[in-house]
Structure 1
Amino acid sequence: MSDWYYMNVVLIQTTLTTLLLALSIQVPLRFGVFSFAGIGAFGIGGYGGAMAMVHLEWSTWPSVLVGTLAAGVAVFLLGLVVQRLTGLYMGMATIAFTLIVSVVAVNGGDLTGGAGGLYGALGEITMTHIVVVVVAVIALLAFTEARGLGRRIDTVREDPELANALGIDVANYRRLSFLVSGLLGGLAGAITTLLRSTITPAEVNFHLVIVALTAIVVGGARSWLGALIGAVIFVWLPTWLSFVQEWEKVAYGFIVAAAAIYLPNGVLGVAKDLLHRFRTREERARVAALQETR
């Protein structure tokens, strides 16, 4: 077991940081906000943490904290600017935000390292640290999915007018989603950068949108558990498909496309449907048994 762990430690770390990145996109979607600002937050968090460590010589976790907070504030302010947009227009505006972050990084001179990126930001982050952070994040998000708060968020997403009629401040909930998205994206970016010791503008681009969306679509968009399932599949699938060699990307694309078509609610949705059917069948069998005994 220990040999397997040490052989795959990088993949495990990547799975957990990819989960944080996917959650930065999933959280706004749960609130009915089609936002990709979490990707830009990834870049801000990564560069913020790296600059704090390289230029200011801060230690690991203060650097992670400043990158996370900077990303959260930036995305929250973005949310205030674009809050009147909806649907595709919101998505386009937030993708533009991500591209702007990349352009600023390229033209940041010595501060950001320019087009070559910033090097030497190697933090003291262990697997235990990452697991603790991810578990804490999941615990908080699981709380937002539970009972009353979860139902209010679902109402904000499914029927904003009804939510307003019930006294739920829809605009406030959606602004909050931007803040949470920024903090999660910034946290993912800071941890990823300080693990790798480097970040370049090429890493903060549209491909991260594809990464996050793939994880959410395949796993499920309504719960943190779906994002976890998607992150595991996304990160480990290329390894599992290595036997097909040069056809790996074709097979990967086919699997993702098939999941999007035939699993509209993701793997988690299928699992929930199967569990519901199993429980319904058991309940019917129990009722039938009671009727026979009467």
Structure 2
Amino acid sequence: MTVTTSPSSAQWRGRELDTRTIGYDERDAILYALAVGAGATDLDLVFEDRLRVLPTFALTLAQWAPDALGALGAFDTSTALHGSQSLEVLRPLPRSGEITMSARVGEVWDKGRAAVFEVVVESDFFVATWSLFAPGSGGFGGERGPSTPAAPEGEADAVGTLVTRPDQAALYRLTGDRHHIHIDPAAAARIGQPRPILHGLCTLAATTLPLAEMLGAHPADLRRLEGRFAAPVFPGDTAQVRAWGDMRDARFDVVTEAGAVLSGGHAAFV
């Protein structure tokens, strides 16, 4: 079998994307907390007098970076998928202010018929990495990159529940990602889904709330997070969160009756 070469994919490695300063206020941070599942009784997440900003809010501030790479034509944005996400927290986000971020393309892995583009966003507060799976962009002779982590063995040390709301995607899209597949049934049907799906970053961030409770931590004390998007979640779904380890170094996954929706999860709190 001959694989068509795509030398242009390799040429994106190390490409500087942009430096941007994004501002926000307490209202934005509170809206985000509500969108990922915080409740009215979580006063330190939804009440400005006690506010602690969820670390995963950083991912909404940096969403411009993977969008910028797609806009430059590195891959076909109609078929590319968000494969995985990582976040390293360097400092707590302030309640309001401006964050200056610089973005670049990290590694570009060759998966044969597809390429995986890593988009790295760095600031004084966090480092976030998007892994974008781009069909048709591989075959350029590069390294395949790391394999999918093996699932943890044995019974989970802690088990919790992730409950999503029927209106959660409609609310989360107000934080910045307004892709039609999360709100328009016709757009969801065009990608083979029976109804609009929840944003992957919403699922990942929402998982940190029950996960923190399971591990005896506070969700605002998250210091490291990563996970792979295995299958879509639909607003209103309930899933099981399974964790192995403790608050300083826990592996986790999120599963429904149909199978895993998040895999290869890794989280650490302080």
Higher strand share: 2
Higher helix share: 1
The one of the two structures with greater contact order (alpha-carbon pairs below 8 A, sep at least 6) is: 1
